[in-house]
Amino acid sequence: MCCESVIGEIVAGVTEAVSSDDNPFLDDETGTWYWSAD
């Protein structure tokens, strides 16, 4: 679900559609989950 949210933000233009690595999920309280886009 977290990845689907990020994809939705990219498609909606909320998050810039560029390649990026090691982006933390803002709602991850443990700080162990990251996402990347290519």
User: For residue range 1-38, what is the model confidence (pLDDT) as tens digits?
Assistant: 888 999 999 999 998 889 989 999 988 889 899 999 98
Confirm whether pTM is higher than 0.85.
Answer: no
What pLDDT is recorded for position 8? 94
Contact 25, 35 (CB under 8 A): yes
What pLDDT is recorded for position 2? 85
Q: Is 11 helix (H, G, I), strand (E, B) or coil?
A: helix
CA 8 distance to own-chain centroid: 9
What pLDDT is recorded for position 20? 87
